[in-house]
Amino acid sequence: MPNKKIFILLPDGVGLRNFAFSNFYKIGIEKKFDITYWNNTPFDLTSLGFNEIKIKNAKSYPLTESYKNARKHIELNLNIKAENESAYDNYRFPFSYKKLKTAVKSYLTRFLITIYNSEKGLKKVRKQIISSEKKTDFFSQCIETLQNNKPDFVFCTNQRPLLAIAPILAAKEVGIPTGTFIFSWDNLPKATMVIETDYYFVWSEHMKSELLKYYSYIDEKQVFVVGTPQFESHFDQESISDKIQFFNQYNLDHNKKYICYSGDDFVTCPDDPQYLSDIADAIRKLNEENHNALGIIFRRCPVDFSGRYDAILEKNKDLITAVDPIWKKIGEDWDTILPTKEDVRLLSNTIFHSEMVVNLGSSMVFDYACFNKPCAYLNYDVANKIQADWSVSKIYNYIHFRSMPDKNAVIWLNSSDEIADKIKLVLKKSDKTIENAREWFKIINQHPAQDSSERTWEAIIKILH
């Protein structure tokens, strides 16, 4: 199928890692596709040798954001009713009233939820979003771009962004088939679907069943199980630096073994600095027993540029080395902080050169499983919580953790007092934990994990046939 033209829609920066910094482009070119990135990010993809069309002046209809937020809440309400499951409430964000503009949006959203809180109402909300976005200058701009370039397929890298709606609607308007990738393993229970495409690309059979359950208007024939490109880089042996080079570059002690502490953003874990402090205390205790043999690599959450860890890092500078993600901060919102190709390599090297990872319920368990290394999940509340209503129990009550086939797929750190002993044990023997983690990984992501881009292009070939 030579010279079929594919538009890769990047409505925001989160798709860069999967579809610009992976093997996705290279494999598509090898299959003789004509690839253009329809780019709404500040990142210059021509610097990587890619063809791109920059999206300019993208702007949604003024009321669409409120309708989108109402859609999320109505979907969660319907899921709670259908399954008698209150856990869906944990996926809501509190309404903001700090500024006049956000307060107006919040009041409007709550009004829309009240009047459309049913299956019929949800359909009306979806239709309203479509009709509103078709009124925008952005929609007209997208129509013009598509008519001028005539792509055979528009592939959206992320189902969540508001600014993906108009380009997808424009493609449908001019008769171009569309598809979207479901970005993250937890997105479907969270009710994050914003766009509606002709085809859907998911991580696994598990995610496929979720998609069909939550969105009954989607037919099984529209869904392709492809995995996710975000783990592919871990299987590229050429990207791994030798120990001396990596340790020298980041001022690590050649005589120590390192565990990685992977940080969360403030909303997910407001007490993250205290957890890091608890890990440092445990490692200090182990070092007293074993000749200063361990250290900590701290990899902060890529979208957290705050100084909230500074005091802990200074106090424990003999133990903790910060190896910060290489992301670029373009704006203040989390989705304007962009990944880089350099950070893809840095993450793989951080995993390769550390013994295990500790974090609060993140998908880093799967990154480490790629290297046959264990993960420990924090599972206790600290004494002096920053937010009284926050708890780890909220995190592990999320629907997506129910996919874990064996609770021993991770090491559970149930109190600060047991951290040292459990780390000591896992460093000696963790085969069973790793085996369970890999089984969980197979449920979450189609295997072989390194072939996701290949499967995605094969799915596109099937669609175009």
Does residue 1 surpass a pLDDT of 80? no
Buried b (16+ CB within 10 A) or exposed e, 55-74: beebebbeebebbbbbbbbb
Confidence of residue 332 (pLDDT cuts 50, 70, 90): low
Residue 372: predicted pLDDT: 97
Confidence of residue 331 (pLDDT cuts 50, 70, 90): low
- The beta strand positions in 308-359, using DSSP E, are 320-322, 328-329, 337-338, 357-359
3-state secondary structure of 376: strand
Cα gap 57→78, rounded to integer Å? 35
- Taking each continuous run of H as one helix and of E as one strand, the counts in the chain are 17, 15
Confidence of residue 337 (pLDDT cuts 50, 70, 90): confident
Residue 292: predicted pLDDT: 78
Pairing of strands 337-338, 328-329: antiparallel
152 and 216 share one domain: yes
Q: What is the average pLDDT across 202-215?
A: 98
Does residue 336 surpass a pLDDT of 90? no
User: Could you tell me which of 147, 189, 191 has the C-alpha nearest to residue 167?
Assistant: 147
Q: What CATH number does the domain containing 50 carry?
A: 3.40.50.2000
114 and 144 share one domain: no
298 and 337 share one domain: yes
Greatest alpha-carbon pair distance for the chain in Å reads 70
Residue 2: predicted pLDDT: 57
Does residue 334 surpass a pLDDT of 90? no
Number of separate domains in the chain: 3
Instruction: Quickly list DSSP for 116-149.
Output: S-SHHHHHHHHHHHHHHHTTSHHHHHHHHHHHHH
Compute the mean pLDDT over every residue in the chain, rounded to the nearest whole number. Answer: 95
Is-contact 178 156, C-beta < 8 A?
Answer: yes
Does residue 13 surpass a pLDDT of 60? yes
Residue 262: predicted pLDDT: 98
Q: State which residues form the domain around 102.
A: 64-132
Q: What is the 3 state secondary structure string of 149-160?
A: HCCCEEEECCCC
436 residue type, one letter: N
Is-contact 361 401, C-beta < 8 A?
Answer: yes
Residues belonging to the chain: 465
Q: What is the average pLDDT across 8-37?
A: 96
206 and 109 share one domain: no
Instruction: Quickly list DSSP for 210-244.
Output: HHHHH-TTS-GGGEEE---GGGGGGG-GGGPPPHH
Q: What is the average pLDDT across 381-395?
A: 92
89 and 192 share one domain: no
- Sheet with 357-359, side-by-side order of all strands: 320-322, 294-299, 257-262, 357-359, 375-378, 411-413
50 and 94 share one domain: no
318 and 220 share one domain: no
Residue 333: predicted pLDDT: 60
Instruction: Quickly list DSSP for 268-292.
Output: T-TTHHHHHHHHHHHHHHHHHHTTT
Cα gap 62→165, rounded to integer Å? 13
pLDDT digits (tens, 9 = 90+) for 415-445: 999 999 999 999 999 899 999 999 999 999 9
Q: Domain boundary residue among 132, 156, 183?
A: 132
Residue keyed to tokens 């780019």? 39
170 and 241 share one domain: no
193 and 341 share one domain: no
305 and 353 share one domain: yes
Q: What is the average pLDDT across 217-234?
A: 97
Q: Domain boundary residue among 84, 108, 132?
A: 132
Does residue 70 surpass a pLDDT of 70? yes
244 and 171 share one domain: no
Percent of the chain with pLDDT over 70: 98
Is-contact 11 159, C-beta < 8 A?
Answer: no
166 and 294 share one domain: no
- What are the structure tokens assigned to 122, written together? 């949800």
